[in-house]
Structure 1
Amino acid sequence: MKRRDFLRKTGIAGTTIAIASSGNRMFASDVFSSSMIKVDPSPKFELSPWLYMQFMEPLGVTDSSVEAAWNHEADSWRKDVVDVTAELAPGMMRWGGLLSAYYKWKEAVGPRNERIPMRNLVWGGIESNQVGTAEFVDFCKQVKADPLICVNFESEGYANWAKTPKGEVRFADAKEAAEWVDYCNNPSNAKRISHGAKDPYNVNVWQIGNETSYAKDRFNLETAAKKTIEFAKAMRGADSSIKIIGWGDSGWTKKMIEYAGDQMDYVAFHHMFDPGQDIKDSVIVDNQYRYDPDATWDILMNGYKIHERKILEIREQAEPFGKQMALTECHYSIRGRNRCEILSSWAAGVSYARMMNLHERHGDLLKIATLADFCGNRWQVNAIMIPVPGGKSFMMPVAKIMSLYKKYSGKEYIQVTDVPEGLDITASRTGNKIYLHVVNVNRTKSVKTSVGIANMEIKSGKAYEIAADPEFEIMRASNDPLIPKEKVLDINDLHEFPAASVTAVELDVV
């Protein structure tokens, strides 16, 4: 019996191609032969397009982010930033962060010569406020992302943000948050119309509280829950259709939902962590990773386990209530001169792919998530690096992964029932197209295997593969090996996933 006929009769349709990757210094002995990837095509739950969110916050002198992305001569966004973000294709952009606790939105709207610059209390320096609500929403429209705004939540209860040592009042109450919602969403809002925006901005998702639980000198849980209800009611008074995210990290999730859950559509948490935090004398701090690639790889490939513990912690508290989760800030945070130099490496990109697969596996409850800060010219935790004073902006390895997954994902999560050793795989489906996200977690060995879809036949397919030396560090837009290579699948042959690779597979099935 021919292999193809056997697969049809058993309900498993096979596909794959043989791919070589000289850039990974592979030889014939560096190949594992493995069992078939088996997929159950029955939809399990809907995957949210907001799993690929980006997080925009002005970071002052610490890392010129929003200011670096803005062209002050042309009063517009830098074209190279818009272009590379469109390629990144985030489903959502979030405005806020720590800045939200002392941000006064009215200072950054209206005529440019009337806008009020602000001191950036956390990140240092002065923000010009030439980028405000209108500009943020415009950016979202240009890159086809849904906007999310984090409001000033009475300065999180922190006195030095509410009123600074210089006497500046940065506190904003529920009334001011509701006015912001009205400014954005009310078709008849006189202030917005007077600023030249006849049509509403339609910001449909809002976050109350950024990291309220992270310090003792901020609101306690009971106060935060009471004020979350107050804010949500006021904001929905301006627009009853909006979705509200409430803060629930640091063990707050269950109680916050019990107190204020009827006013919250999502519960928020953050996770910035060192994947080597549990390892004595970890080699990934500073620049030590450059001297021990094997140990570096092992730490990065297991980083997802720490992240999974965090997700499960929140999930166990939220799931009994059926409350959806919003991971509105997340990235590795590793000590180094220039804020996590290792995150420029392709090894970090492969590690982030494992984190992305984890997000998909929890996609029944996890509906909003990110893996990076958005943009800047210094921090390596950013998705996009902006050369200054000139040069073309480019995607970091984490952004390469998020872009690849966003472009080649189905609407519904489906189960991978059999995974060959050395691979980390998730699957999704839209109609008769099935997508696989395949991470080869072996640093030097490829994996040769095939794919089977239960009770379906694969007619054709393509693979979009990123494979490079794990030690490669991206420094600029040119000479970039991290561009996905499109390969047409030979459905009669095996597929060889190169060492240290991330591949999106697109299959046409019947």
Structure 2
Amino acid sequence: MRAVGTVHRDYKISTIDPRLYGSFVEHLGRAVYTGIYEPDHPTADENGMRQDVIDLVRELDVPVVRYPGGNFVSAYNWEDGIGPKEERPVRLDLAWHTSESNQVGIHEFADWAKAANTEMMLAVNLGSRGLDEARAFLEYVNHPGGSYWSDLRRKNGREEPWNVKLWCLGNEMDGPWQIGQKTAEEYGRVAFETAKAMRAFDKSIELVVCGSSSPKMPTYPAWEATVLDYTYDSVDYISLHMYFENHAGDTAAYLAQNARLDDYIETIASVIKVTKAKKRSKKDVYISFDEWNVWYHSNEADRKVLEGRDGWPHAPELLEDIYNFEDVLQVGCILNTFIRRADVVKVGCLAQLVNVIAPIMTVPGGPAWRQTTYYPYLFASRYGRGTSYQLSIDCPAYSTDFAEAVPYLDVSAVESDTDGALTLFIVNRHETDAIALDVALEGFGDRKVIMDKVIAGHALKAVNGPDQQPVAPVDGSGVTIESGRLTGEIAPLSYRMIRLGQ
């Protein structure tokens, strides 16, 4: 089985916004408490944050982290998380049927973000609250001083503003599970007025309006058309969310799901274009894909808490999917799709970062460890920044009940904006056959392999754990470059990253 293709220097897709490789920390389960924050942990810093987790986040080089939700934000009072910790109220979180201690709020999270070398992407509550609370939060976070909210921030220990640039106008407002769910008309109106107020404070901030929480929603894609009709000239991004599952145990169908992702992106990109034309607008709106991941392993285990049969526990184990080797391939395909659609998808948030459907897991009082999916995220984040390129690849394909002509080889290409290396990210979906890859490198000059990493040869259900992490990258071999052509064999069911330098 062979795949023959070309990557040409003149056929660029787009410059990749580094925030495409962002993530997400919500007050959900153990994402915050015993995730990023555990004051009694042996590695805890002076702020109670786990240094071992910070080290792993810095290794991933996460550019931006969305906070504090998620479903949580739609009934969240941000003021509960400021001031002396002993005076902060305990609240019942209706989104996840748990209790929230508010021991971590905007100050603590901002300190963590600085330590983790990431920027904050903050969400305002447009579910149970609205415009007034949003503008107060913005003033608290971004105003230097001399006003009520900024002076309160200074009184609470933060002299300088954080100058957060990226703000989400609520979360999944189309969802019946959301506190304060709205129709597209209701949400479009409140989002427009909130955006207007926030921009009256600072025209330079970037705003994300809620799109569909899933392409399965009955209101999709009419929701986007209506919301953008209200907000197009007031916002910069429209958010999309999508999660991937394999309850049926069909590997071929599971690994073809990024075809659905591509259709989702293409549909909303078309809605954006139509709205721009309708409004005769000169500005562009892009997509913020600020929730995506594999999520299905923990569904049954979570029911007791989510149905309220366990009372209102604080920071219980929730959504703690333990990822396997099969999920490595899925995450690789998803990331490849985002790279290929970098012309319209500018922000992305792997949901989430620690413990909750996350690449990083922690043991309370014990180690932090890398899940299997940590690695494709690591490689894309570190080596997928720069310019994405079109690839023309002739490859054998297969079909599922929802997608036709799915190529067995899923490939993206990025030229680095730091060292100029050309990186190929490759997933072989074929369950039994290796594929001989032959790619012409047109216009890239003389190249040599400077890094070759592969994850292959594991049982599909193989997992990592706190004691052992067998599913991890190893050095690849056998790739050669002669006369401007890269050739090599891609193992069945494998993830591979090949970097070509000069």
TM-score w.r.t. length of structure 2: 0.81
The residue matched to 1:147 in structure 2 has which SS?
strand
CA deviations over 1:163-195 (Å, ceiling 9, x no partner): xxxxxxxx4331221111111111222112112
Aligned-pair CA distance for 1:405? 0.9
Counterpart in 1 of 2:131?
Answer: 174
Q: Given that residues 427 and 495 in structure 2 are in contact (C-alpha distance below 8 angstroms), is that contact kept between their aligned partners in structure 1?
A: yes
The residue matched to 2:33 in structure 1 has which SS?
helix
Counterpart in 1 of 2:30?
Answer: 64
The residue matched to 2:34 in structure 1 has which SS?
helix
Aligned-pair CA distance for 1:506? 1.3
Structure 1 CA distance for aligned equivalents of residues 39 and 339 of structure 2: 39
Counterpart of 1:218 (choices 181, 184, 195) is 181
Aligned-pair CA distance for 1:132? 0.7
TM-score w.r.t. length of structure 1: 0.80
The AA in structure 1 aligned to 2:19 is W
Structure 2 CA distance for aligned equivalents of residues 416 and 454 of structure 1: 11
CA deviations over 1:100-149 (Å, ceiling 9, x no partner): 11111111012222222221112122211111111222222222222111
Structure 1 CA distance for aligned equivalents of residues 171 and 204 of structure 2: 22
CA deviations over 1:84-111 (Å, ceiling 9, x no partner): 2222322210011111111111110122
Structure 1 CA distance for aligned equivalents of residues 72 and 444 of structure 2: 51
Q: Given that residues 141 and 162 in structure 2 are in contact (C-alpha distance below 8 angstroms), is that contact kept between their aligned partners in structure 1?
A: yes
The residue matched to 2:174 in structure 1 has which SS?
helix
CA deviations over 1:256-289 (Å, ceiling 9, x no partner): 112111111101122235356xxxxx2x3xxxxx
Counterpart of 1:301 (choices 239, 242, 255) is 255
Q: Given that residues 39 and 50 in structure 2 are in contact (C-alpha distance below 8 angstroms), is that contact kept between their aligned partners in structure 1?
A: no
Aligned-pair CA distance for 1:396? 2.5
1:125–1:430: structure 2 CA closer, same or farther, 3 Å change rule? closer
Aligned-pair CA distance for 1:426? 0.7
- Superposition RMSD in Å: 2.4
Aligned-pair CA distance for 1:442? 1.9
1:332 aligns with 2:294: yes
1:255 aligns with 2:226: yes
Counterpart of 1:233 (choices 182, 192, 196) is 196
Counterpart in 2 of 1:127?
Answer: 100
1:245–1:341: structure 2 CA closer, same or farther, 3 Å change rule? closer
Counterpart in 2 of 1:85?
Answer: 57
Q: Given that residues 458 and 507 in structure 1 are in contact (C-alpha distance below 8 angstroms), is that contact kept between their aligned partners in structure 2?
A: no
Q: Where do 5+ consecutive residues of structure 1 fail to align?
A: 1-31, 156-170, 277-281, 285-295
1:458–1:139: structure 2 CA closer, same or farther, 3 Å change rule? farther
1:373 aligns with 2:336: no
Counterpart of 1:193 (choices 154, 157, 173) is 154
Aligned-pair CA distance for 1:211? 1.0
Counterpart in 2 of 1:415?
Answer: 390
Q: Which one has a bigger Cα radius of gyration? A: 1
Q: Which has the higher contact order (CA 8 A, sep 6+)?
A: 1
CA deviations over 1:312-331 (Å, ceiling 9, x no partner): 33222123324201111123
CA deviations over 1:430-465 (Å, ceiling 9, x no partner): 364211111111223322334321133333222122
The AA in structure 2 aligned to 1:104 is N
Counterpart of 1:152 (choices 122, 125, 134) is 125
Counterpart in 2 of 1:384?
Answer: 360
Counterpart in 1 of 2:310?
Answer: none
Structure 2 CA distance for aligned equivalents of residues 343 and 419 of structure 1: 35
1:112 aligns with 2:100: no
Structure 2 CA distance for aligned equivalents of residues 137 and 446 of structure 1: 47
Counterpart in 1 of 2:240?
Answer: 269
1:102 aligns with 2:75: yes
Counterpart of 1:484 (choices 461, 468, 473) is 473
The residue matched to 1:337 in structure 2 has which SS?
helix
Counterpart in 2 of 1:433?
Answer: 421
Structure 2 CA distance for aligned equivalents of residues 268 and 341 of structure 1: 24
The residue matched to 1:270 in structure 2 has which SS?
strand
Counterpart of 2:435 (choices 417, 427, 447) is 447
% identical aligned pairs: 24
Counterpart in 1 of 2:281?
Answer: none
Q: Given that residues 178 and 236 in structure 1 are in contact (C-alpha distance below 8 angstroms), is that contact kept between their aligned partners in structure 2?
A: no
Counterpart of 1:466 (choices 447, 450, 455) is 455
Q: Given that residues 208 and 238 in structure 2 are in contact (C-alpha distance below 8 angstroms), is that contact kept between their aligned partners in structure 1?
A: yes
CA deviations over 1:227-284 (Å, ceiling 9, x no partner): 11211122223322210111122321122112111111101122235356xxxxx2x3
Structure 2 CA distance for aligned equivalents of residues 456 and 209 of structure 1: 44
Task: List aligned pairs for 1:392-403, cutoff 5 A.
Answer: 392-403=367-378
Counterpart in 1 of 2:489?
Answer: 496
The AA in structure 2 aligned to 1:449 is L
Structure 1 CA distance for aligned equivalents of residues 13 and 54 of structure 2: 35
The residue matched to 2:209 in structure 1 has which SS?
strand
Q: Where do 5+ consecutive residues of structure 2 fail to align?
A: 213-219, 277-283, 303-318, 397-407
Aligned-pair CA distance for 1:206? 0.5
1:54 aligns with 2:23: yes
The AA in structure 2 aligned to 1:382 is A
Q: Given that residues 237 and 287 in structure 2 are in contact (C-alpha distance below 8 angstroms), is that contact kept between their aligned partners in structure 1?
A: yes
The AA in structure 1 aligned to 2:481 is I
The residue matched to 2:458 in structure 1 has which SS?
coil
Aligned-pair CA distance for 1:486? 4.1
Aligned positions, number: 437
Q: Given that residues 57 and 97 in structure 1 are in contact (C-alpha distance below 8 angstroms), is that contact kept between their aligned partners in structure 2?
A: yes
Structure 2 CA distance for aligned equivalents of residues 500 and 45 of structure 1: 29
Counterpart of 2:285 (choices 301, 308, 323) is 323
Greater share of helix: 1
Q: Given that residues 53 and 92 in structure 1 are in contact (C-alpha distance below 8 angstroms), is that contact kept between their aligned partners in structure 2?
A: yes
Structure 2 CA distance for aligned equivalents of residues 101 and 456 of structure 1: 49
